[in-house]
Amino acid sequence: MKRTVLLVFAFVMAALSVSCAKPDYKKITNDFITATSSVKDFTIREVADTSAPSWKAVIVYVKQGMANMPVLFFVSSDGKSIVADSMVYVDSKPIFTRKLEPEFGRIAFKLTEKDRIVYNPSGKKLVFMFYDPDCPYCNKAMEKIRTNSGEYRVVVKYFPLEQIHPGATRKAIGQQAEWLKKNRKDLTKDADILKEAKRMVEEDMAEAQKAELQGVPTYVMEDGTLKQGLF
């Protein structure tokens, strides 16, 4: 997706009055965007610390069609300087390394998570991963997720792209059936396990279509926000 060019200057000395009060970094960024660009639909999400005490990171998301694209600003701790959409380096090292992902809309319904495969169950933040067993990008992400011990609790849901990967639906049902066989003690017959796995995969696929997912892997955050490339 082509990124909107927000600002004309990468670095500007802000003409702000100096006071003893702590600078309002969100207001400084808001005023800068309003004064230097025609962008109207944006949200200032967060002010974050950086590895340099003299700089704060201000995370802004700009609306582009159905998507929200991240733009990073750096405001000096005294509020006098702002660096827009460009990295600040100290001793040749970036002062902010968190990866910011585009957001591709938001769904307005709750996803089913009962009896799904879960990685890092102790994670504090819930995220759903829509997955195709034959998708190389999905499998690359899954390698990281299987050893994930970070903040995310990952619930796996299936969205096999059968037209691209013939047989992926059968593999998805097989993987879900293996999980049920180990974890659902009320299902004792193979036929019942397979039937339930098929129902669950079809339920996942219906939810993916309802959410109008365009590909995999796609991640759905707890608030319904759609993201790609989270892992």
108 domain residue, yes or no = no
139 dihedral zone (left: phi>0; alpha: psi -120 to 50; beta): alpha
- Do both 25 and 55 map to the same domain? yes
- Do both 80 and 125 map to the same domain? no
Which residue segment(s) compose the domain that 41 sits in? 11-99
Kindly tell me the sign of the dihedral angle through the C-alpha atoms of 5, 9, 12, 17. negative
Per residue in 97-111, pLDDT (tens digit) is 998 988 888 898 999
Q: What is the DSSP string of 138-173?
A: HHHHHHHHHT--SSEEEEEEE---TTTSTTHHHHHH
- Do both 131 and 218 map to the same domain? yes
Listed residues 99, 127, 155: the one ending a domain? 99
CA 211, distance to chain mean position in Å, is 15
- Do both 20 and 78 map to the same domain? yes
- Do both 153 and 81 map to the same domain? no
Instruction: Note the pLDDT of residue 26.
Output: 97
Instruction: Note the pLDDT of residue 187.
Output: 96
Instruction: Note the pLDDT of residue 20.
Output: 57
**Mean pLDDT over each residue of the chain, to the nearest integer:** 90
Listed residues 40, 67, 99: the one ending a domain? 99
Instruction: Note the pLDDT of residue 190.
Output: 96
- Do both 122 and 92 map to the same domain? no
The number of folded domains in the chain is 2
* SS3 label, residue 176: helix
Instruction: Note the pLDDT of residue 203.
Output: 98
Regions of the chain short of the pLDDT cut 50: 1-19
The answer to whether the CB of 113 falls within 8 A of the CB of 121 is: no
- Do both 145 and 72 map to the same domain? no
